[in-house]
Amino acid sequence: LTIGILDIYGFEIFDRNSFEQFCINFVNEKLQQIFIELTLKKEQEEYKRENIQWIPVTFFNNIVVCDLFEAKQPPGMFLILDDVCLAINAVAEKADKSYLNKLSSLTNQYLLVSPPTFTVRHYAGDVTYHSDQFCEKNRDILNVDLIEMMQSSTM
């Protein structure tokens, strides 16, 4: 069995952004980080090693935004969301409020929490996310066949 990935959604900024845009924009943030690492940083390091003259390219290294999403310590937004969603008796509305409360404890210049929303300063611009149904949407249960296929994948 083979899975081919053809395309991803581009960065999304709508009037009302929710969990779906949160995930899509995280993927785009990661792709931007890969581009920065492989193209900008590595190429400029190679130019230095080979004494090639060039005009240095300045860029925003968005690793700080990627860490805001996925860091293990201190926990990033995804770990916090998973933690809130795993709580027993986490009623959707209360879970979303709990998520925002926990996000408020993060000290990060790329995050602004203003219930019922929070804003992330992405490389492509500020995006305000509405927290309603975040936990419910994060609880999506994967089909058992899909889980087994992914676990048996050789990639």
Can you tell me the distance from the alpha carbon of 78 to that of 72, in angstroms, rounded to the nearest whole number? 9
Extract the runs of DSSP E, i.e. beta strands, from 26-139. 111-114, 117-122, 125-130
- Both structure tokens of 84: 């809130």
- Both structure tokens of 71: 């860091």
The enclosing domain of 75 has a CATH number of 1.20.58.530
Can you tell me the distance from the alpha carbon of 96 to that of 7, in angstroms, rounded to the nearest whole number? 30
In this structure, the strands spanning 125-130 and 111-114 are: unpaired
Check residue 90 and give its pLDDT. 64
Check residue 6 and give its pLDDT. 56
Q: Is residue 77 part of a domain?
A: yes
pTM: 0.82
- Structural domain of 45: 19-53+60-152
Q: Is residue 124 part of a domain?
A: yes
- Both structure tokens of 88: 């027993």
Q: Is residue 7 part of a domain?
A: no
Q: Is residue 4 part of a domain?
A: no
In order along its 155 residues, the chain shows pLDDT tens digits of 777 775 778 999 999 999 999 999 999 999 999 999 988 889 999 999 999 998 988 888 999 999 999 999 999 999 999 999 888 566 778 999 999 999 999 989 999 999 999 999 999 999 999 999 999 899 877 788 888 888 888 76
Check residue 155 and give its pLDDT. 66
> Considering its fold, how many domains does the chain have in total?
1
